[in-house]
Structure 1
């Protein structure tokens, strides 16, 4: 099974969905818990038919859906087909998608020796090696953010070495960036945009606003 690049997924025309890291995600505005439960049941039936199973979070008043192909560590035609079918069952139920509301985050730790540092964070958080990337750590219950380790060329004691990567839909990045600047943030670098922008709060704590666009890995 071949993984798809972000552009290949975008070319499939899935208006209800957004690519975030190695996943397709969406939010369905159900308006009630009962409607959400009905939608989850229909999603489960489609997933069984296709033998491809998404992560589904039922909340009041929405349902969050995430799909990826764990066996290859990325998105495939299976995810595109599943997303399209899920959109159809939601439409049949009269439930609208709000993909602009999805997002996820990672914690980046700058290190000189990832092999020495990683076991500490794995133990203290109770995390496991990420199925999609063995250099990353993930919450086995799927609740906490992924932890990844950024290799440094030299120690940087003068600045923070832990930062947040905030992943947003590509069509929401500019708005999120502006909102952060309006809230007192500073733009440190846009050299890698639209892959990511580096920002800092008034005391210099850093965060990156990230999208899946213009990334070599897709």
Structure 2
């Protein structure tokens, strides 16, 4: 079994400047090509390089933008092989003139606060076409939509359930994202756990955590 590495160890490696770790879904890179045809060719070249390495990253092609996500190893996290593959993919992209856009990397999760998660979760799984993952989460089997986490409220909400969203961003983009949300009318509810996450609220009390890998899993931040 490949030896696992954490986000801090991944980012300490040379040659992975194009890549960012967000949430627990592995490292991700966004490449911008000059045209759709060029992006399509890049996807094929990356697919060939990954297949030769015995890997199968997720590729998402939208117009001239190709997102590449290195999938985790059976839930065990990243491994040294991910570093080698990330370097190879970046080299392939560079050879074809594609430009990395680390600021575009993010992952979105929804949180449902409910008094009876076990009774509510099956409904949302059926309605969204998701599958249950463990006792608290729903995931999109197509790997396209956000995951959904169910939790019990710490205190009863007098106005009923409110929406909470987790937005995982690149660790070097988080403060800019927080500032943009505040400038757009939000407010910081808590920065107690920053840089792991900042909690912000809109004018109606719906909240969002701007989250990164920093400040958790032993990272001293």
CA deviation string 1:112-154 (max 9, x = no partner) = 4432322221122110134xx6632111112210001234344
Correspondence for 2:51: 48
Q: Structure 2: which 5+ runs fail to align?
A: none
For 1:47 and 1:36, the matched residues in 2 are separated by 16
SS in 2 for 1:170: coil
Change (3 A) 1:105 1:7: same
1:61-210 to 2 correspondences below 5 Å: 61-130=64-133, 135-158=136-159, 160-210=161-211
Q: Structure 1: which 5+ runs fail to align?
A: none
- Kept in 2, the 8 Å contact 1:5–1:217? The answer is no
Deviation at 1:70, TM superposition (A): 4.0
For 1:70 and 1:134, the matched residues in 2 are separated by 21
Q: CA RMSD in A?
A: 1.9
For 1:17 and 1:119, the matched residues in 2 are separated by 35
SS in 2 for 1:171: coil
- Kept in 2, the 8 Å contact 1:68–1:76? The answer is no
SS in 2 for 1:143: coil
TM-score scaled by structure 1?
0.91
- How many residue pairs get matched? 216
TM-score scaled by structure 2?
0.90
For 2:196 and 2:151, the matched residues in 1 are separated by 16
- Kept in 2, the 8 Å contact 1:163–1:206? The answer is yes
Q: Which moved more, 1:121-130 or 1:139-148?
A: 121-130
CA deviation string 1:151-185 (max 9, x = no partner) = 43443334644311111101000110001101110
Q: Which moved more, 1:91-100 or 1:176-185?
A: 91-100
SS in 2 for 1:82: helix
Q: Which moved more, 1:168-177 or 1:107-116?
A: 107-116
SS in 2 for 1:51: coil
SS in 2 for 1:63: strand
Correspondence for 1:17: 19
